[in-house]
């Protein structure tokens, strides 16, 4: 059996909903014991506030998805008894994570400085909406709002589509992944020197990092705005043929390719050598689209694969599920709680050939055992 790299490590997680809990989920899958500090009576908002109408054992699917294998302690942080319970947990913890708005955790008495004063070697992780020290720091830190403020919505879609949001909470997930990376780095430093520390990130910083290639171009090309294609859009900064094209029965994606090879594959006359893949992007893509549209997806992919043209079918979740690839990789597992067994998406990491996962399902509110302040 593979030894989980973080076995024996304890994480106290004050965070809720997505960004912070995603970070602690990654740590839990690597073997850490994660204890959620939740509000008495209510708990994590994601237990009941979510758009899905699918519930598992009385709680939302997102809560189950992002809190697998964690423990829960229900505490009233406004009472002295509740604070004493949390300090007892901190005394036995290695990592603390929180995602309150800036200033809130400090007012509750558990900010980094207070925790470090009691436990100098603590590794402390904070994620907020926009960081601190500017006019946005007190604004609501929510995924869609961070996408909107980051400029990323002007990179997807076609020229006349207006801003296009991601269909996923990408700011939350990327911020959580960045926080987990920072926590692991501080744990390595602590292992070397004994020094703890505070790692911070935000939804905005995660979205800026996502755009680092294109923003670097933008900051150095006279601040020209991105130019999305008129149709077949996939990337504002890449020339033809890069895009998504309709077939007779679906869609295909075509990546960077030699235009001559692609035109020959499609039975088109060789393109004019004077054409520029970016300046003439809309014209080139319209010619490719017209050639692809009568073809079935299967026939197009068979032809392009034989010629080593970079292309792929655009799959939906049914196609992905039926491909068998996720099952072969071991990406999907089963979890049980309250007599219900349900599918779970597991960690993207494999360690020593094994896909590690946190043991057990998402916790019931306050269900940690009475000896919660002691280690196993």
- State the catalytic residues: 172
SS (H, E, C) the chain: CCCCCCCCCEEEECCCCCHHHHHHHHHHHCCCEEEEEEECCCCCHHHCCCCCCCEECCEEHHHHHHCCCCEEEEECCCCHHHHHHHHHHHHCCCEEEECCCCCHHHHHCCCHHHHHHHCCCCEEEEEECCCCCCCCCCCCCCHHHHHHHHCHHHCCCCCCCCCCCCCCCHHHHHHHHHHHHHHHHHHHHHHHHCCCEEEEEEHHHHHHHHCHHHHHHHHCCCCCCCCCCCCCCCCCCCCCCCEEEECCCCEEEECCCCHHHHHHHCCCCCCCCCCCCCCCHHHHHHHHHHHHCCCCHHHHHHHHHHCCCCEEECCCHHHHHHCCHHHHHCCEEEEEECCEEEEEECCCCCECCECCCCCCCCCCCCCCCCCCCCCC
């Amino acid at each position: 059996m593979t030894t989980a790299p973080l076995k024996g490590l304890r994480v106290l997680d004050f965070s809720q909903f997505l960004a912070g809990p995603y970070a602690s989920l990654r740590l839990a899958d690597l073997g850490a014991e994660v204890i959620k500090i939740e509000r008495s009576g209510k708990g994590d908002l994601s237990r009941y506030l979510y758009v899905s109408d699918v519930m598992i054992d009385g709680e939302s699917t997102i809560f189950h998805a992002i809190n697998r294998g964690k423990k829960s302690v229900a505490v009233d942080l406004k009472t002295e008894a509740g604070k004493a319970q949390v300090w007892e947990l901190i005394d036995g913890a290695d990592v603390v994570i929180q995602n309150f708005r800036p200033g809130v955790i400090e007012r509750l008495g558990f900010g980094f400085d207070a925790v470090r004063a009691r436990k100098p070697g603590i590794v402390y992780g904070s994620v907020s909406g926009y960081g601190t020290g500017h006019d946005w720091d007190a604004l609501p830190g929510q995924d869609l709002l961070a996408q909107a403020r980051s400029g990323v919505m002007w990179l997807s879609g076609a020229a006349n589509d207006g801003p296009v949001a991601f269909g996923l909470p990408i700011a939350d997930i990327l911020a959580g992944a960045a926080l987990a990376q920072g926590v692991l780095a501080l744990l390595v430093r602590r292992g070397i020197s004994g020094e703890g520390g505070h790692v911070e990130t935000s939804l905005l910083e995660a979205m800026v990092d996502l755009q680092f290639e294109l923003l670097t171009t933008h900051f150095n090309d006279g601040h020209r705005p991105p130019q999305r294609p008129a149709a077949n859009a996939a990337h504002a900064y890449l020339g033809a043929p890069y895009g998504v094209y309709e077939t007779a029965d679906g869609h295909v994606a075509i990546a960077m390719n030699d235009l001559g090879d692609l035109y020959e594959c499609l039975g088109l006359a060789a393109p004019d050598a004077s054409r520029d893949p970016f300046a003439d992007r809309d014209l080139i893509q319209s010619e490719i689209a017209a050639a692809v549209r009568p073809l079935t997806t299967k026939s197009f992919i068979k032809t392009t694969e034989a010629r080593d043209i970079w292309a792929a079918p655009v799959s939906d979740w049914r196609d992905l599920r039926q491909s068998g690839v996720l099952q072969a990789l071991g990406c999907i597992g089963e979890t049980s709680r309250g007599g219900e067994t349900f599918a779970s998406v597991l960690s993207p990491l494999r360690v020593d050939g094994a896909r590690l996962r946190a043991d057990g399902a998402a916790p019931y509110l306050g269900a940690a055992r009475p000896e919660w302040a002691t280690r196993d």
